[in-house]
Amino acid sequence: MAVRVVTDSASSISNADNERLSITTIPILVLVDGIAVPEAELRATDFHVRLAGLPVLPRTSQPAPEDFAEVFRRIVDGGDEALAILISAGMSGTVQSAELAATLVRSERPNARIEVVDSRSNSLEEGFAVLAAAEAAALGEPLGECVRAAKETIRRTRFLFALRSLEYLRRGGRISGAAGLLGIMLHIAPVLTADKGATGVATVARNVGSAWTKIGALMRKDVERYGIRQAAVQFFGDSEDAARFLTQFIAPIVGGEVSVVPIHPVVGLHVGPAVGVVYETERPMR
């Protein structure tokens, strides 16, 4: 009996890691005029260009409970146990769909062992927890230990990112038009983070360059206090921005390898062009 890890596409897990660790990724749909955009098209390097030209931002649609139930049944019927680690319940209804599915499958199969973990974040902050659990599962650890690996990783991770503008938040209705206009006029560049399962403001800068500097300062403070295990630069939009951000602000702090990973469009379309860093410390930050 093995533990099989399940996640959603917001986690930004690469296809290579999915295959290496037998992770099942259930897509959160991106809908343009009510039609789901194929995953291959979402992962295209120029998707953000197409997005900028759309008069109305696409919608996202969480997986249905039956999407999870189908995967859970397959895992359980194969003699294994299921562990789903998902985008924060404060950002999406995906956790609720998975919990409904787990309840259904347990009622159908009383011996089924299924756990659902709320990552309290998205992108690779969610992804680091997924990978930690999947690595534990690959070593043959039991379900409880895989859950623990995910939850302990959540306590050691942080995601800090800066937006190019507030336009996408305004277009998506996440800030008022007046607030968005004021922010643009004042050139406010917020540094965002995941705070208690929701998107919050870590600090505010006057421009993007200043925001990058503040991200570096916040990260350095955490690393000096808690140590560093791993880090990844994430971006939506311009990969050259990500490369500059890595070289100037993140690499000097980490002093080792830092991967560069695109933010999946199910997250990126809500914030627009952005650059940030996800990092895991040696000791818990929360």
pLDDT in tens, 207-251: 899 999 999 999 999 999 999 999 999 999 989 999 999 999 999
- pTM beyond 0.85: the answer is yes
More confident position, 104 or 203:
104
Q: Report the pLDDT value the prediction gives residue 50, as an integer from 0 to 100.
A: 82
pLDDT at 187: 58
101, 127, 155 — which closes off a domain? Answer: 155
Do 212 and 106 share a structural domain? no
The full DSSP string for the chain is --EEEEEEGGG---HHHHHHTT-EEEPPEEEETTEEPPHHHHTSTTHHHHHHT-SSPPEEEPPPHHHHHHHHHHHHHTT-EEEEEES-TTT-SHHHHHHHHHHHHHHHSTT--EEEEE-SS-HHHHHHHHHHHHHHHHTT--HHHHHHHHHHHHHTEEEEEEES-SHHHHHTTSS-HHHHHHHHHTT-EEEEEEETTEEEEEEEESSHHHHHHHHHHHHHHHHHHH--SEEEEEEES-HHHHHHHIIIIIHHHH-S--EEEEPPHHHHHHH-SEEEEEEE-SS---
Q: Provide mean pLDDT across the span 12-25.
A: 96
Residues 164 and 22 in one domain: no
Question: How confident is the model at residue 182, as a pLDDT?
Answer: 43
Q: What CATH number is given to the structural domain containing 189? A: 3.30.1180.10
| CATH number of the CATH domain containing 8 | 3.40.50.10440
Domain end residue (candidates: 155, 190, 209):
155
Q: Would you say residue 97 lies in a domain?
A: yes
Question: Which of 155, 170, 204 is the endpoint of a domain?
Answer: 155
Specify the range with the lowest mean pLDDT, choosing from 5-9, 39-43, 57-61, 73-77: 39-43
Quick one: 144 and 208 in the same domain? no
Q: Are residues 148 and 167 in the same domain?
A: no
pLDDT, position 115:
98
Q: What is the pLDDT of residue 10?
A: 97
Residues 268 and 189 reside in one and the same domain: yes
Please count the structural domains in the chain: 2
Domain of 23 in residue numbering reads as: 3-28+63-155
171 band by pLDDT with thresholds 50, 70 and 90? low
